[in-house]
Structure 1
Amino acid sequence: MTIHTSQLTRAFGTQNVLNGVDLDLGPGIHGLLGRNGVGKSTLLRIIAGQLKPTSGTVEVFGQRPFDNARVMDRTCLTGVDTAYPGSWSGADVIKGARLRYRPWDQQLADALTADFAMDQALETRYGKLSRGQRAMVAIVIGLAAGTDLLLLDEPYVGLDTHNTDVFYRHLLAQAGTGRTIVMATHHIEDAAKVLDTAVVLGREGTVAKQCAPEDADAFAVAGGELLPIDDATRHARPARFDDLIEHYLEVY
């Protein structure tokens, strides 16, 4: 198991953001979903070793991750809002990541920059890049880093339709590589096509539901509602994985 948490809490002042998170994730592509403010980014930062939990247990590769070089060397956390040096060019930021991560895949990095047509972004200072350009830099770093654990915090924000397709195509190519990839996302319909599981973080700061695509086989969509398949619903449209995720997000 790559990630294990038990009764994990994190408070900021007197406010609990995470409140008893129980989670086990192994290799595969996992979605982390939930409403704004439920603690998705906080959870990713704890798993990445950047934040200490207030209480409870978190283990990554069987070790406590906070400020643990052995864990952090095998982990990459990136996203559109990652604070890379603003005075560096996009190319410099990617070069820094190449030097940081030993399993770096330069062939994949080159393919991504070509598919994203990143010539302008590579030459421009990171602090001057648009959100879409920052997203492309983050995706190149995350996928090419080659780390055993990849944490993506809404990496697609600002991408146009073409570049969103580029991202998901390359993300899907990571399936079966043995990497554990956790992606905080609001792109439910697109993400559902590549996810092995979806983790729904509820408004109470706990894992409200964890589901997989095969779980949708037990449900049908009738009258806009998600209902268990029985004699009354067997002729309704079969539920899709994104239907199931949307349902749990509404409930929790």
Structure 2
Amino acid sequence: MSEMLKLEGVVAGYGEAKVLAGVDLSLGQGQALALLGRNGTGKTTLINTIVGHTRRFKGRLWLDGKEITALKPHQRALAGIGWVPQERNIFKSLTVEENLTAIAVPGPWDLARIYAMFPRLQERRANMGNQLSGGEQQMLAIARALLLNPKVLLLDEPLEGLAPIIVQELMRILSEIIEREGLSVILVEQNARKALSITHHAIVLERGAVIHASTAAELLAQDDKIDTLLAVSQR
């Protein structure tokens, strides 16, 4: 299995503040990683650093064997970094279909394939972005990232604040993307057990450093360890 994403000794943050304290990370092709930790431990900063939206003090990053340390965010996107931020960042004044086609890159993921995976979006394709529910906006954000035909997909709390029925639907879609599509995925999710149930590996951050790394199955089988690492019961 080839290495799709690698971080080595990454120290990064915002302005003069260092949030990440020398993070090492390796993600294989077609593998999914659950990125866990309490609020404020550096999870979003790590995602933003991979995207290129933080200040890097030290360390290097590679994507599919090519160094991307010096690349700007738009160059990383073109190189194969797909990103679904917490804010979703959809174009609310454009229709669903306009949102999807505005930034699409030729590749295996095309509009027909997206509509097959997200039938709700096909039904709402003529609706404006601001006419969608929160769950539909999240589906649109994920679909739009897929249409960039990325090598790595970064998902920053995609289930946050959504109704249980939508969470269930998105879990099914994410599981399908991870198991059938061969994408490398990093999933940030507050509900550790949900994230671990559909991923292959897990790391836990504390104060910007990795304090635990294992397979997802190993951590999922240790309820007490999950509760200790995250300092909260999620049963």
TM-score (norm 1): 0.76
Listed one character per residue, the Cα deviations across residues 71-92 of structure 1 (whole Å, up to 9, x for unaligned) are 4222211144132333222221
User: Where does residue 89 of structure 2 map in the other structure?
Assistant: 83
Which residue number in structure 2 is paired with residue 104 of structure 1?
109
| 1:193 match | 197
- Of the three residues 194, 207, 215, the one matched with 1:212 is 215
Structure 2 partner of 1:171: 174
Contact 1:79 1:135 in 2 (8 A): no
**Aligned Cα root-mean-square deviation (Å):** 2.7
User: Contact 1:135–1:158 (CA<8 Å) still a contact in 2?
Assistant: no
Instruction: Tell me the secondary structure at the aligned position of residue 91 of structure 2.
Output: coil
The within-5 A match list for 1:97-246 is 97=103, 99-100=104-105, 102-114=107-119, 116=120, 119-120=123-124, 122-127=125-130, 129-143=132-146, 145-173=148-176, 174-175=178-179, 177-202=181-206, 204-216=207-219, 240=221, 244-246=225-227
The amino acid across from 2:204 in the alignment is V
User: Following the alignment from structure 2 to structure 1, what is the Cα–Cα distance between the partners of residues 222 and 114?
Assistant: 31
CA separation of 1:68 and 1:188: change in aligned 2, threshold 3 A: closer
SS in 2 for 1:53: strand
How big is the shift at 1:198? 1.3
Q: Does 1:42 align with 2:45?
A: yes
Unaligned runs of 5+ in 2: none
Counterpart CA distance in 2 for 1:14 and 1:67 is: 19
Q: How many aligned positions are there?
A: 225
**Residues 14-53 of structure 1 mapped to structure 2, 5 A cutoff:** 14-27=16-29, 28-53=31-56
Shift of 1:177: 3.8
**Residues 124, 214 of structure 1: alpha-carbon distance in 2 compared, 3 angstrom cutoff:** closer
Q: Deviations over 1:51-75 (max 9, x none)?
A: 4512222222231253276642222
The AA in structure 1 aligned to 2:4 is T
State the one-letter code of the partner of 1:168. Answer: M
Which fold has the larger relative contact order, with Cα–Cα distance below 8 Å and residues 6 or more apart in sequence? 2
The TM-score with structure 2 as length reference comes to 0.81
Deviation at 1:108, TM superposition (A): 3.2
Instruction: Report the CA distance between 1:101 and its aligned residue.
Output: 5.2
Which whole-Å CA distance do the structure 2 matches of 1:40 and 1:119 have between them? 34
Q: 2:182 is aligned with what amino acid?
A: G
Larger radius of gyration: 1
Percent identity of the aligned residues?
Answer: 25
